[in-house]
Amino acid sequence: MPMHDERLSRREAIALGVTVAVAAATRGAIAAGTAAAADAVSGADAPAVITRRIPSSGEALPVVGLGTNNYSPTTPEERAARRAVVERLPQLGGRVIDTAPAYRQSESVLGELIAEIGNRERLFVATKVTAADGDRAGGIAMLEESFRRLRVSHVDLMQVHNLTGVDTLLPVLAEWKKEGRIGHLGITTSSARQYPEMLGHMRRHTLDFVQVDYSIANRGAAEEILPLAAERGIAVLINMPFGGRRDGNVFPRVAGKALPDWAADLDAQSWAQFFLKYVVSHPAVTCAISGMTKLAHLEDNFGAARGRLPDAALRRRMEEYWDRELAQGEDA
């Protein structure tokens, strides 16, 4: 799915005094090491990480994950920064990493980094496959190549990317799931134009996951996709939780603006947390994946996986605030 690097807007926000929350110790860190190691993350009394269960398997996932569209570094410094994020993610209690063959070298880079760090067992790795024009053999070859690039024998979630070859590939993925090569299967889109097709597949096929675009600025998926996922027991990954290129990144709309006082009611300490808490508080959403290439962004975003989430009334207030105070900002 498309990923957006909010570097400029984040930098501006920090310069303007927006607080960046540092996420604290997690139960995952305690399980992986000692209480002292967890304290070193940032405090043994930190709130627990919020998780949601995958309806089909019962496996629990943290509600914030890592998108890796921009994981094709061109310098040693860029690679080191991405390595730090992949290493830190499970220390904070995170698990989900989403990638795709279409994301240039991301699969290969992730495979290298995860092998170097040695934290594969603490991660939920998701990638994607396509079968253009119903090319089954080509789709299978792409699957095998993803396994080679990621250096894994098991992928936790395999998704048909942008609905390209769903009817061809789902029987293949079902067989691979039966064999234990993949844990879950699903389909993805990041375009409202594909919603009718996605809804059709959701009604016809047995799916573990769908992945779809959704944000406070882009709520179309909440009309039919998310309710149908809840009805049919399908887990939901959210891409573009900060708006994305099609709908406009949300951060420029809040540059120079302080959080409303009532953001404290949902334990949001930054605009990133405000936006993510809106997304993951939807009852049908399992996990929101955001592109993160810097530790500061990871730690800030992961703050949305702790503390209180907005209830239905507060979600409506967030929507009204966005629509009234922020959505028209670019046109004013």
Whole-number average pLDDT of the chain = 87
Burial label, 88 (beta-carbon count in 10 A; 0-12, 13-18, 19+): buried
Helix 225-232 / helix 195-204 crossing angle, nearest 10 deg: 10
Q: Is 149 helix (H, G, I), strand (E, B) or coil?
A: helix
| Percentage of the residues of the chain whose pLDDT score is greater than 90 | 81
Please tell me the predicted confidence (pLDDT) of residue 60.
98
The CATH architecture annotation of domain 7-16+48-326 reads Alpha-Beta Barrel (3.20)
- In the predicted model, what is the mean pLDDT of residues 265-269? 97
DSSP string covering 75-133: SHHHHHHHHHHHHHHHHTT--EEE--TTSTTHHHHHHHHHHHHT-GGG-EEEEEE--GG
Please tell me the predicted confidence (pLDDT) of residue 54.
98
Rounded distance, CA 287 to CA 237, Å? 5
- In the predicted model, what is the mean pLDDT of residues 241-264? 88
Locate 269 and state its tokens: 């300490």
pLDDT band at 182 (very low <50, low <70, confident <90, very high): very high
129, 139 Cβ separation under 8 angstroms: yes
Rounded distance, CA 292 to CA 296, Å? 9
Please tell me the predicted confidence (pLDDT) of residue 246.
54
**pLDDT over 90 at 23, yes or no:** no
Largest CA-CA distance found in the chain, in angstroms, rounded: 56
Rounded distance, CA 272 to CA 223, Å? 24
DSSP state of 72: -
Q: Which of 90, 118, 84, 122 has its CA nearest to residue 25?
A: 90
Rounded distance, CA 330 to CA 116, Å? 44
CA distances to 9, 80, 83, 151, 153 from 293, in Å: 14, 10, 9, 21, 26
Rounded distance, CA 262 to CA 278, Å? 14
- pLDDT for 53-92, tens place per residue? 999 999 999 999 999 998 998 999 999 999 999 999 999 9
**pLDDT over 70 at 27, yes or no:** no
β partners of residue 4: none
- pLDDT for 307-329, tens place per residue? 999 999 999 999 999 999 988 75
User: Domain residues of the chain, as ranges?
Assistant: 7-16+48-326
pTM > 0.75: yes or no: yes
Q: Which residues contact 149 (CB under 8 A, 6 or more apart)?
A: 101, 107, 108, 111
DSSP state of 215: B
Locate 118 and state its tokens: 């040695």
Instruction: Give ∠ CA 265-266-270 in degrees, rounded to 5.
Output: 110
Rounded distance, CA 235 to CA 244, Å? 22
